[in-house]
Structure 1
Amino acid sequence: MKNSWNLPVLVPDTQVGGHEGVGTIVQMGDGSDMYGFGMGDRVGVKWLRETCGTCAYCLAGDDGLCAKQSASGLFQPGTFQQYVTAPARYLTPIPAKLSSEVAAPMLCAGMTSYAALRKSNAKPGNWMVVLGAGGGVGHLVTQLAAKAFGQRVIGIDQASKEKLVKESGAEVFLDVATQSGDVLAEVTRHSEGLGAHTVIVCAASNAAYSQGVGFLRPGGTLIGVGMPGGDPTPIATAMPSLIVQKQLKIVGSILGNRQDAIDVLELAARGVVTVHYEIRGLGSLTQTFEDLESGALTGRAVLDLCG
């Protein structure tokens, strides 16, 4: 909404933003019943409103790479409104046991977290560092890593988020404000003197990426999720010689596919993962974006359009 990523094409001023929306079906188009939905069903609208479904990326489950993807709130009206239309093929069913407030953030932050962990190929018992572990995505990555993927998590964030990070399942919490050398020493000390098997960068910070590479043990993998704003900046510590000699992997992960969304909602319905959230009204939308940008928001904000 604030174009902090310097996108080449801006969202039209008249566009309705929003994704991660949950609601009930009140009208169905011709043929939409073939996808298993009916009137009154509770469904979710994700960031990806639709993909082509036939390209090599879609067939491989890499929906976020489809060249014909359509995004909610970008060039199609989003979910910051009472009613929204969406292709039935790409809707996600919401489990009956799961509240809408918890389900909504799972439709982007949750499935993004799950997909990043899936791509990490991390084995149970491995050490994983999560940078930005108390953020909207980070606290979900931390929970899923510890409780669904069997990781031993070292969470790094601002001191004010320590309680949330530990409650999310991190064995160790480190304050991001500590000098980088001290943090590196602590990560190494806690991870068998070798460093982490995996680092997931959820913080939208160039410094976090530079720091994250140093946390890896030989053969380790860095998963990039957070996207820093401003002009694109290379990872300062990702020297080719280091990557080659330590056999490091750097993997980008954006969004997830339809199955990821279903899987993470099922985990949420079973209580394996939940969301730290606060409910706000639509009138607080501008303030919510400002809180998100400044880092003042802990977990997620859920907008209630029914109040």
Structure 2
Amino acid sequence: MKTIAMVLFPDFLLLDMAGPMEVFSIANRYLAPQDAYQLSTIGTEPGALRASNGVSVQPDLYLEQATAAYDLLLIPGGPGAYNEPCPPLQAWLPDATRRAKRYGSICTGAFVLGFAGLLDGYRVTTHWHYTERLIKGFPGAQVETDQIYVLDRNLITSGGVTAGIDLALAVVAEDHGKKVAQDVAKVLLVVMKRQGGQAQFSPLMAAVAPQETAVTRVQHYVLDHLDETFTVERMAALVSMSPRHFSRLFARELNMTPMAFLQNARVDFARNLLETTELPLKTVAYRSGFGSVRHMRFLFSEKLGLNPTQYREQFS
């Protein structure tokens, strides 16, 4: 029997807890009693804890009582995970994770692990909306921005919210084989392996900075003329700079090359057309500046893990 514990704190995200726990609970239907998962919840304080949606959950134990060596110790996300550290949880986690065979986080629960100093030297992920914040907050971690979940040695982390289900299915497959995990996925009406990663849900390009600079002037011009042909030389000429100096300045301000910006902007524009219109792929490709459906298909597959037709079917 494997023991799995979910650590709860005020303002946690209920689905981050419930999704993975349901996976393990349903897996028990297909397992012999001696192989079943034993599930429990641990609270940061005695009494019921209110989730971010207002639902209250009564944990089985609170921190001082949770001294077992769990097979898997999980931390959900939610506003209570990333808004500010929880000192009792920070103090408890290092010893608890050393005792556990494996530990991990769902969604923004990675911040809880980060506050406790448990991410340094590991490959990790979190919800796409918070990856930049995680990178800046915990520079010792190697943050993967497009993965649904990441397993690095004894640490497993997942992307946003329902990615916790993917994480749990991966654990079940490793513990008891792919067939059991597939049976659980069918009960939950989810797929065992998603097409693409988190990038398909997030914009590739951040909003243009409000202050006016040479780089933002070029960004605005490019965004207004995506159907035109651009080179680094042409973008540099818009602000009367040499291509070399412009490229260095652009990379310093945006942490990407001018051509990477152009590609991301075109993919994002095409995504919006695919989501909101019934335009043929050829028209979408032309308006987005790809020149051909073939080129658009290549960049979609490279950046999103889906081709344009798959993207439209999934998000429109």
User: What TM-score do the two structures reach when normalised by structure 2?
Assistant: 0.29
Bigger Rg, which one: 2
User: Which structure is higher in strand share?
Assistant: 1
> Which is bigger in relative contact order (C-alpha 8 A, separation at least 6)?
1
User: Which structure is higher in helix share?
Assistant: 2
